[in-house]
Amino acid sequence: IQDLNRPQLIDFSKVGSSALGFITIAEKLPFEIKRVYWTYYAPHEVIRGHHAHKVLRQVIFSVSGIIKFEIENTSGEKLSFVLDSPEVGLYIPKLHWRRMQFSHNAVLLCLASEPYTEEDYIRDYDSFKRWI
Which residues are tagged catalytic? 51
Burial (CB count within 10 angstroms: exposed 0-12, middle 13-18, buried 19+), residue 52:
buried
CA distance 83 to 5: 20
d(CA 53, CA 67): 20
